[in-house]
Amino acid sequence: MAELDLTGGMDDARGDIADLLGKEERKILTTGNAEIDKKIADGLPLGSLTLIEGENDTGKSVLTQQFMWGSMHNNLRVDLFSTELTTKSFLTQMESMSLDISDFFAWGYIRLFHCHLVEFKWTPDAMNDILERIITHVKFSNTDVAIIDSLTIFTEYTTNEAVLTFLTQAKNICDQGKTILITMHSYAFTDEVLTRVRSICDAHLLLMRKLMGDKYVMVLEVVKVRGARKTTGNLVSFEVHPGYGMKIIPVSVAKV
């Protein structure tokens, strides 16, 4: 596991295996699942800043893991900054969805930076420092895709202005060609700040849980995807099945 070094360093030693896997024209970040991609305009344009928003247990992390799977099969390097997952839990989760990325992880094509450190003192200054280190790493590393899962914990210890500055810096990095996905709980901000957060992002995917008959399913609303090469779908209903992953279910949902 790669670790976020609070003293100033990042482990940048990683071999470039793109030559081993072969290169191809890459313009879209896909999930690796054709059914899901159809609903989000065939995927997210590379060089975009995407907000994946939702409440607890709505599938935010699962969706980012699908994008990681698609990235691996399009020769894209991924850095995941997680406030929850350890190396073991991350690899186990991916394998449980039949998304075995252990070889890619071993080769260094995926790096995990665990941001929730044991016995770490959470203070506004420390949070600001970590946000600055993340954005600096993404800017200067050789990663193609950066995923921050999730931004919520930072909003609890820092100011709205600091988070908005972080997002603006992330957007500037995306304008230079890198792709960034950020997950966040809807309750993290007031409506006014949340509106500003959404407006900064190029793509906005909203995840919800809906009661369908006698069971709950996940619903993905594709709110916007700037620069999409196809019209986006509106609502996508899915379940997460062990051993299969995300499975689209043919349920018609009326938008409230």
Is 99 buried (19+), middle (13-18) or exposed (0-12) by CB count in 10 A? buried
Task: Tell whether 88 is covered by a domain.
Answer: yes
Q: What is the pLDDT of residue 251?
A: 59
Lowest-pLDDT range of 2-16, 28-42, 112-126, 143-157? 2-16
Q: Does residue 36 fall inside a structural domain?
A: no
pLDDT at 8 over 50: no
Render pLDDT for 215-241 as a digit per residue (tens, 0 to 9). 889 999 999 998 766 666 578 888 887
Question: Is 251 part of any domain?
Answer: no
Give dist(CA 73, CA 138) in Å, integer: 21
CA 193 to chain centre: 20
pLDDT of residue 114: 86
Cα atoms found within 13 Å of the Cα of residue 204, Cβ hemisphere only:
12
Give the domain CATH number at 58. 3.40.50.300
3-state secondary structure of 85: coil
Q: Which residues pair with 82 in a beta bridge?
A: 114, 149
User: Based on the structure, what is the number of domains in the chain?
Assistant: 1
Whether residue 60 is contained in a domain is answered as yes
Asked whether residue 78 is domain-assigned, the answer is yes
Q: Is 213 within the bounds of a domain?
A: no
Domain limits for position 82:
2-6+42-204
Q: Tell whether the model's pLDDT for residue 116 goes beyond 90.
A: no
Let me know if residue 226 belongs to a domain: no
Do the domain assignments include residue 242?
Answer: no
Mean pLDDT, the chain, integer = 84
